[in-house]
Amino acid sequence: MMNYESNLLETILDNNSERKIILHGFFQNYNYFKNYKDKIKKWFYIDKNYENKDDIAIHIRKNDFKHIPKFDSSDDYFLNLLRKESFNKIIIATDEPEYILIKKIMEEFKDRVIIFKGNTFETLQHFTCYNKLILSFGTYSWWMGFLSNAERIYLPNRICPGSIDLRVFDEERYVLV
């Protein structure tokens, strides 16, 4: 077994030999992916068959983060962004549909809210098709933005201890909040 520590992706991509690749650890750092955006998007191509540029999609992750304040996005993060953006419908994917924030959004925005109920892949596939995204802190949410062609992606401006840093600074479409 080979152990790649530096230039990880370059080393893997340059080696065309037949081999079994085992990745161990966390690879949640935008710097690992930024030079390979086009290639990664081709590898993980998702047919974007939903076209409604007037809607906004929100991924709200609460379940395992609500007790860890440094990872949890506040209700105000989502509500303030919704209040400043223009949109027709709000499409929400969440791991906790009964959470009070969902009720607040439904109360304030009334009949403009749709709760998306799909499995993990369906949610990723559907959410990469929106023009505006409000994302939670976390890798799954980040991939929605990365694989999309959205013109505006709101992302929490946070990093984790160690090398976990999914903030995107080299694309105007990302707004770190």
Where exactly are the structural domains of the chain? Answer: 8-43, 56-176
Report the pLDDT averaged over residues 158-163: 72
9-66 pLDDT, tens digit per residue, is 677 778 888 888 776 766 788 888 888 888 888 888 777 666 678 999 999 986 655 5
Entry pTM: 0.81
Residue range 56-176, CATH number:
3.40.50
Amino acid 5: pLDDT: 47
DSSP conformation letters of the chain:
-----SSHHHHHHH--S-------S---BHHHHGGGHHHHHHHT--------TT-EEEEE--TTTTT-TTTSPPHHHHHHHHHHS--S-EEEEES-TTSHHHHHHHHHHGGGEEE----HHHHHHHHTT-SEEE--SSHHHHHHHHHS--SEEEE-----STT-B----S-TTEEE-
pLDDT at residue 161, as a whole number: 66
Write out pLDDT tens, residues 93-145: 998 888 899 999 999 999 999 999 989 989 998 898 899 999 998 888 999 99
| 74-98 pLDDT per residue, tens | 889 999 999 999 999 999 999 888 8
